[in-house]
Chains A and B, each alone.
Chain A
Amino acid sequence: MAERRVTVESEVGLHARPAALFVEAASKAAGTVTVAKGDGTPVPAKSILAVMGLDVRNGDEIVINVDGDDAEAVLDRLAEIANAG
């Protein structure tokens, strides 16, 4: 299990296109992926509805948790999406 804290630099937060890209990338991971806003309750990162429901905005901190062998690569990709756009 690998964890990473990321401050979201995407201008629109985890909404719109970044949210869709985030969920698509998480869905490619073999194991469980969760995301939480700050120290809030983690939600499944493969669920667009759950991710949108977090209402993550520009400047918010998120905590991503990934299970499985490819965890670090998945974290890199998710952090990249949260910071782009």
Chain B
Amino acid sequence: MVDKLSGVGVSSGVGYGPALRLTRDVPAPPADDRHGGDAEAEYRRAAAAMEDTAQDLTARGERAGGQAQEVLAAQALMARDPALADDIRKRVGEGASAARAVSEAMAVYRQMLAGAGDYLAARVADLDDVRDRIVARLLGVPVPGIPESAEPYVLVAADLAPADTAVLDPDLVVAFITREGGPTSHTAILARSLGLPAVVACADADTITDGTPLLVDGATGRVLRDPDPDTVATARATADARAAAAAGTSGPGRTADGHPVPLLANIGGPADLPAALANGAEGVGLYRTEFLFLDRADAPTHEEQVAAYREVLAAFPGGKVVVRTLDSGADKPLAFLPPPAPEPNPALGERGLRMMRRFPATLEAQLTALAEAAAGTEADLQVMAPMVTDVEDVEWFAAAAGKAGIENAGIMIEVPAAALRARHLAESADFFSIGTNDLTQYTCAADREIGGLGRFQDPWQPGVLELVAATATAAEAAGRPCGVCGEAAADPVLACVLTGLGVTSLSMGAAALPLVRAALARSTREQCRQAAAAALAARGTDEAKRLARERLDGLADLGL
């Protein structure tokens, strides 16, 4: 067994602790699995497993709170269902093992729910989860889901889904390792938002067994199995030095020779402001406004919108606040903006600006609220549209923004066609902001949600860098600012490369700001340009990373 594993480091920091796996698959008990003859004892085993499961689900719900608690409370009721228990008792009485009886009895209800309406069909997953939990206890295998632990641990998984992380206790996880995923995967975004180290696309993750001590370096992507104490101490010292160096660099973002690169925060609402300010954000580079619109039957009122926007604008007097207009579509459906037809491929469907062109009154209301919110503050409001494809899109959005009184209206560059024709789009857009997550997804034709395509979900792909370069060059020629607001900006080495490609500002999750600030402060603009040229000339992601890093000597003391 190799002691060194490697993957892609997507959230810096060093974590050390025992591995615990997130398990999903519980083996199905064989069809002819029978108990030894004592039906009463076998039924007591089943009943105990059901009650333990119900108590575990209830406890998890109490920790999670909110909507997750309601789902978990309903699941606890399923585990305690008296009709289900009667059915299981009957099957055990006929000789079936406890695990087999649970499995068979629940299959009856599963079929009933799956055959009913859409809402109930969605509950089938909840029921399956309850079944897996009870059966796992009866078979003595790990219970699926986030592991239970009193001690801090390294969470190892094939991949993480939002549902897994809803009940995750961030105080108990010291690092994440996943077999699948890339820099834009849910795991990467979650880890960065929690400030925890993470390594994704770790091909050998499946060979890690529960309890093995692991040393995880989220900056380099290296994982050591059962390291000796000196190695752990050295790694921790490097991480501490890195954190100290990052903390020791303050002020606005700039290269070693003083070229300014404003460092901005990506936020989802006013709740993210304290972290942005604490990490020295100079403004907001991406304000996602979806939170105002999701999970409700009607559009938010004018007053509600003005209040939410003004709270963010007021936090950055004199600073830039870039607001992205509502980005909804088949993947983020809204009750009051129904997608026109079922979309087999929502990423390529009517989303972002495409949806707003179908519902122009919603966009008009948002733009009007933004203009009014900016009126009383000193922030520099900039508004941008997501999912812009061609000149017609830009002209339409610029006209709508102008009509609402928005002075600075730009566009996101996420679609390869927009990047390739940036010189024409710059005629009507006041600025560009490159959304590298979607740009990578569309350039490499690799759905962000599909774990098995992690290799393509990497903004270091030279094809993606080429489009960033084309966009930045066109913006410079037209005298337009060109920022990056995707996860790429949070990678300190890539941040230097983006600067070298001509990107003029970087926006990221707040936790990434200090290390990116430190990396820029240790590199001259010329070094950034050389790193960018080397990365563009590379034949693949690994070569691009290596060649770029070789040209950025100053990053050595950051342990990168």
How many chain B residues touch the partner (CB < 8 A)?
18
Closest 9 A/B residue pairs (Cβ): A47-B83, A48-B77, A49-B109, A55-B116, A53-B112, A20-B74, A47-B81, A49-B81, A44-B83
B123 within 8 A of A: yes
A23 within 8 A of B: yes
From residue B261, how far is it (CB to closest CB) to chain A in Å?
48
Q: Given that A23-B77, A55-B116, A55-B117 are contacting pairs, would A50 and B83 also be in contact in the complex, using a CB cutoff of 8 Å?
A: yes
Q: Given that A15-B119, A16-B74 are contacting pairs, would A46 and B113 also be in contact in the complex, using a CB cutoff of 8 Å?
A: no
Q: Which residues of B lie under 8 Å from residue A47 when comparing CB positions?
A: 81-84
- Whether A15 lies near B120 (C-beta < 8 A) is yes
Q: Which residues of B lie under 8 Å from residue A17 when comparing CB positions?
A: 70, 74
Q: Which residues of B lie under 8 Å from residue A63 when comparing CB positions?
A: none
The digit string for B69-87, where 1 denotes a CB below 8 A from any CB of A, is 0100110011001111000
- Which B32-89 residues have C-beta < 8 A from chain A? 70, 73-74, 77-78, 81-84
Complex CA distance for A16 and B74, rounded to whole angstroms: 8
Other than A46-B82, A48-B74, A52-B120, give 14 A-B pairs with Cβ distance below 8 A. Answer: A16-B70, A17-B74, A20-B77, A24-B77, A47-B83, A48-B77, A49-B78, A49-B112, A49-B113, A50-B83, A52-B113, A53-B116, A55-B117, A55-B120
- Whether B82 lies near A19 (C-beta < 8 A) is no
Q: Which residues of A lie under 8 Å from residue B73 when comparing CB positions?
A: 20
Nearest opposing residue in chain B for A49, CB measure: B109
Complex CA distance for A53 and B111, rounded to whole angstroms: 10
Q: Which residues of A lie under 8 Å from residue B127 when comparing CB positions?
A: 49
Q: Given that A15-B120, A55-B116, A55-B120 are contacting pairs, would A49 and B70 also be in contact in the complex, using a CB cutoff of 8 Å?
A: no
Nearest opposing residue in chain B for A17, CB measure: B70
Q: Which residues of A lie under 8 Å from residue B117 when comparing CB positions?
A: 55, 57
Complex CA distance for A77 and B83, rounded to whole angstroms: 22
Interface size class of chain A, counting residues whose CB lies under 8 Å from the partner chain: 10 to 19
Identify whether the interface residues of A are mostly helix, strand, loop, or mixed: helix
Q: Which A residues form the contact surface with B (CB < 8 A)? A: 12, 15-17, 19-20, 23-24, 43-44, 46-50, 52-53, 55, 57
Q: Which residues of A lie under 8 Å from residue B84 when comparing CB positions?
A: 47, 49
Which single member of A20, A24, A53 contacts B113 (CB below 8 Å)?
Answer: A53
From residue B280, how far is it (CB to closest CB) to chain A in Å?
43
Which single member of A19, A24, A53 contacts B109 (CB below 8 Å)?
Answer: A53
Can you name 16 A-B pairs with beta carbons within 8 Å?
A: A16-B70, A16-B119, A20-B74, A23-B77, A24-B77, A43-B83, A46-B83, A47-B83, A47-B84, A48-B74, A48-B81, A49-B81, A49-B109, A50-B81, A52-B113, A52-B123
Complex CA distance for A50 and B116, rounded to whole angstroms: 12
Complex CA distance for A15 and B109, rounded to whole angstroms: 15
From residue B421, how far is it (CB to closest CB) to chain A in Å?
47
From residue B377, how far is it (CB to closest CB) to chain A in Å?
39
Q: Given that A15-B120, A53-B113, A53-B116 are contacting pairs, would A48 and B70 also be in contact in the complex, using a CB cutoff of 8 Å?
A: no
- Whether A19 lies near B74 (C-beta < 8 A) is yes
The digit string for B257-292, where 1 denotes a CB below 8 A from any CB of A, is 000000000000000000000000000000000000
- Whether B119 lies near A49 (C-beta < 8 A) is no
The digit string for B111-134, where 1 denotes a CB below 8 A from any CB of A, is 011001101100100010000000
From residue B304, how far is it (CB to closest CB) to chain A in Å?
22
Complex CA distance for A12 and B73, rounded to whole angstroms: 17
Complex CA distance for A43 and B109, rounded to whole angstroms: 13
Which single member of B70, B83, B119, B120 contacts A20 (CB below 8 Å)?
Answer: B70
Nearest opposing residue in chain A for B84, CB measure: A49
- Whether B83 lies near A49 (C-beta < 8 A) is yes
Q: Which residues of A lie under 8 Å from residue B123 when comparing CB positions?
A: 52
Nearest opposing residue in chain B for A13, CB measure: B119
Complex CA distance for A20 and B58, rounded to whole angstroms: 13
- Whether B82 lies near A44 (C-beta < 8 A) is yes
Nearest opposing residue in chain B for A54, CB measure: B116
Complex CA distance for A26 and B70, rounded to whole angstroms: 18
Complex CA distance for A26 and B120, rounded to whole angstroms: 21
From residue B226, how far is it (CB to closest CB) to chain A in Å?
46
Complex CA distance for A79 and B438, rounded to whole angstroms: 50
Q: Which residues of B lie under 8 Å from residue A50 when comparing CB positions?
A: 81, 83
Nearest opposing residue in chain B for A57, CB measure: B117
Complex CA distance for A50 and B87, rounded to whole angstroms: 12
From residue A49, how far is it (CB to closest CB) to chain B in Å?
4
Q: Which residues of B lie under 8 Å from residue A53 when comparing CB positions?
A: 109, 112-113, 116, 120
